[in-house]
Amino acid sequence: MTIQRRVTRKVKIGSVSVGGDAPVVVQTMAATKTRDYEATAASVAKLANCGAGIVRIAVDTDQDAEALAEVRRRVDANLSVDLQENFRLAEKVAPYVDKIRYNPGKICILEPNLSWERKVEYLVDVAKEYDCALRVGINSGSLDPEKLREYREKLEHKDADPTLMSDDATFFDPPIRSALEHVDFLESLGFDRYVVSIKDSDPETVLMLNRRFAALKPFVPLHLGVTEAGAPPRGILKTRAALEPLLMEGIGETLRVSLTVVADQKEQEVAAGRLILENVASGVVASISDLDKTKLNIVSCPGCSRTQSSRFVELAHTIDEATVFARSYPLTVAVMGCRVNGPGESDDADVGMWCGGDRVNLKSGGTHVGTFSYEEVVEKAVELIKEKISAMKQ
């Protein structure tokens, strides 16, 4: 089946290109501890060999940056580095990677007296010096706090002025507003070697946001994904329901399937990504209608080197099994492994768990209930879910 793809700017990332006439690239992310450079190099090599065109690695510290240099010496793959708060690490990692991903919602945290514009300008200078691409990585679990505050204020006043929330009011939609703002600023600097991602844990929202951005900025390559899609097979279906329709419409130049699996099973993400491309090529695709939003939705992140405990993945699967009784109820349960999107996603869920090293923060509708051991939290979470189901029945 021939699909009429939109023609975006082509961006070179190591030995591959995204956009233009290049084929869609499947990406994934290593989940080993970055400072364990031998394990990380082995993981990157395995993922690249099974079809990942780009492999992302998280870096938070100088030790991580030093380990990344060792990874580069050991493996020949297209590497992307994931920076969150510590944007200053860019110049330490740039010599060893092909792309730097920054998060507009996190870049504001470190050096708060320095504007985000100056921080991005610094990243652009580093990228130019070391021949790197950039990704503007926007995630609903870690949005720019100022834009989120303004948006919530608009929501409070939408009844008095309904036009504030109209389809054309992209200015008040935090993910789209962030994307437009950063794209316009990068263009003003004369820098065009970048891609954008706008991710959410809800497949329908992913569809809406990416369609909207693609219409507004048709020349910008898009990296597609449903963040915190959860464990397979449901995590794969949720991702298919969002990404396959977008790809059928010609939207999307690179993609990742974010699955909650242990570090040595990350090739499942690559296989799922390749399956999505095969489905689109054959014309047999999933859709949002394949998802029943009246039933339990479990949101769990894929895990990465920032996950403080490997028990996080086990907990996510245990919660999945322990909530079979709730499958027919429209509740959202979040099991999150680190600080990046953990606070936001657990706040937005009916029952949320944000995992630390040996303790788990448990929340009910954004309200902190307590901190429990990994053994205790399953029972406590199930109790909360049962309470919410009882309230729904009244």
Does domain 11-290 correspond to CATH entry 3.20.20.20? yes
The four Cα atoms 25, 31, 36, 38 give a dihedral, to 10 degrees, of -50
pTM comes to: 0.91
pLDDT per position as a tens digit, 304-339: 777 777 788 899 999 999 999 999 999 999 998 876
In the chain, the amino acid numbered 246 is L
- Mean pLDDT computed over 71-76: 96
CA distance 208 to 363: 28
What residue has token string 């990228």? 127
| Three-class DSSP category at 28 | strand
Strand 367-373 and strand 359-364: the pairing is antiparallel
pLDDT at 166: 53
Q: Mean pLDDT of all residues in the chain?
A: 91
Give tens-digit pLDDT for 11-51.
Answer: 999 999 999 999 999 999 999 999 999 999 999 999 999 99
Given a cut of 80, is residue 8 above it in pLDDT?
yes
Domain chopping of the chain, boundaries: 11-290, 297-393
Residue range 297-393 forms a domain whose CATH class is alpha beta
CA distance linking residue 228 with residue 302, whole number of Å: 6
E strand map for 117-258: 133-139, 194-199, 222-224, 254-256
What is the greatest pairwise CA distance in the chain? 63
Residue 262 CA to residue 91 CA, distance in Å, equals: 30
Q: For residues 62-79, b (16+ Cβ closer than 10 Å) or e, as one string?
A: eebbebbebbbeebebbb
* Distance, CA of 242 to CA of 383 (rounded, Å): 32
Structure tokens at 217: 């900025």
